[in-house]
Amino acid sequence: MKQTNKYLRKKILVLGLAKSGVSAATLLHKLGAFVTVNDMKPLSENPEAQGLLQQGIKVICGSHPIELLDEGFELIVKNPGIPYRNPLIQGAIAKGINVITEVELAYQVSEASFVGITGTNGKTTTTTLIFEMLKEGGKLPLIAGNIGTVASGVAEQARPENTIVIELSSFQLMGVEEFQPEIAVMTNLFDAHLDYHGSKQEYASAKANITRNQSGEDFFVYNGDQAEVAEIAKGSKAEPVPFSAVKKFPEGAYIEDGYVFFRGEKIISTSEIVLPGKHNLENILAAVAVSKLKGVSNEAIRKVLNTFQGVEHRTQYVATVGNRKFYNDSKATNILAASMALSSFTEPVILLAGGLDRGNEFDELKPYFTNVKALITFGQTAEKLERVARESGITNIKRVDNVESAVPAAFELSDEGDVILLSPACASWDQYKSFEIRGDMFMAAVHKLK
């Protein structure tokens, strides 16, 4: 870890706990800051806050009192999930207090370089592929962010010979100041999290922060098929490295004659790749581009792509029961992700979908319903999804209480050779604390069928 006096004797407020808040508070305390932690959960129900209190860190729990801003804080480290419209954050900005996220703190203390991955969909798969390729290539990667260990915890342990591969959300990227990845990746850009950002323009601006501080010695790996992403690339100072599954970009990664190429070099036949889904070809191309830029051999890349079957909760094969294949795509928290999952299969599909209602309709799913033979719905959006299914000619529709009851209901409606797919097209928070818990409930119900 880099030794820095930047935070020595500075009054800093860590707003919101969870894993990132605990890690940030602990690190700042080690760096000599006067840390105050503020979390909504009452102290009696907050073991994380109790642990920080035992370290001698000041803890205020149960609310976000606006009066905290009278204590003269010089910096706020904000949990990414707390929106900027929060009154305390608004008040801090009005007072000229800098607001960062824990990722920025990690960057400032890290001895290792960063590969940062963002985008609406495909971040986790791309991040995992890059990590596995760098590891296979002997490049000593560490994984961090939404997918792995909290970034500042990883940064504390990282050495100069390491590379931190980090998945980054728009929430995290809104709070960076100096963060400069050696390689930045943008997988794609679609409407998402508009309830948090307010507009697609603000969402895109947050994503663009991943390349904001890059220089001509850095690389920006981006989806060359998307005009909005290509526009962000034009504004980057980094060397542009496009990828495409449909166009040939000689300066980047592409597919030609059934092979993956990088800058004219043949890497692997697409027939050797075991990860299913057309959408995953884009994730693979992005990962190949990063790995080649980091000096990974073709042999190491091929070894990963010959064996990598996907990431948990992302079109994850679960089991075959009664000659029906079950797939867990609980990470499909938006329409685009569900569309991509549906397009991965040619077999008849029993679709399990529903969840948090963010105000959007689901008409964009209609073109992907051609091989959906039945729909099982649950959650707040059940009625909306059922309307779209009926308008698509699907008559076999059943509403259930939750994911657990959806599994046996789907099995009853299925035939041998069918795919039973959990791809909710919605966030989980109306019924489950996370998409991971939702996916775990689905998998447990599948195994119960056995």
- The token pair that represents 359 in the structure block: 């105000």
What one-character-per-residue DSSP string does 68-89 give?
Answer: GGGG--SEEEE-TTS-TTSHHH
Q: Is the sign of the CA dihedral 414, 420, 423, 429 positive or negative? A: positive
| Residue set of the binding site | 119-125
| Alpha-helix runs per DSSP H in 112-250 | 123-136, 151-157, 170-173, 194-197, 200-208, 227-234
For the stretch 248-260, what's the b/e string if a residue is b when 16 or more beta carbons lie within 10 angstroms of its beta carbon? ebeebbbbeeeeb
Please provide residue 394's backbone torsions phi and psi, each rounded to the nearest 5 degrees.
-85, 120
At 14, which helix (H) or strand (E)? strand 11-15
Q: What angle (nearest 5°) sits at the alpha carbon of residue 217, between those of residues 214 and 218?
A: 45
What one-character-per-residue DSSP string does 356-424 give?
Answer: ---S---GGGGGG-TTEEEEEE-STTHHHHHHHHHHTT---EEE-SSHHHHHHHHHHH--TT-EEEE--
Q: In a 10 Å sphere around its CB, with 0-12 CB exposed, 13-18 middle and 19+ buried, how is residue 121 labelled?
A: buried
| Residue set of the binding site for ATP | 119-125
Contact between 291 and 303 under an 8 Å Cβ cutoff? The reply is: no
Identify the CA nearest to 163 among candidates 140, 189, 197, 135: 140
Contact between 341 and 315 under an 8 Å Cβ cutoff? The reply is: yes
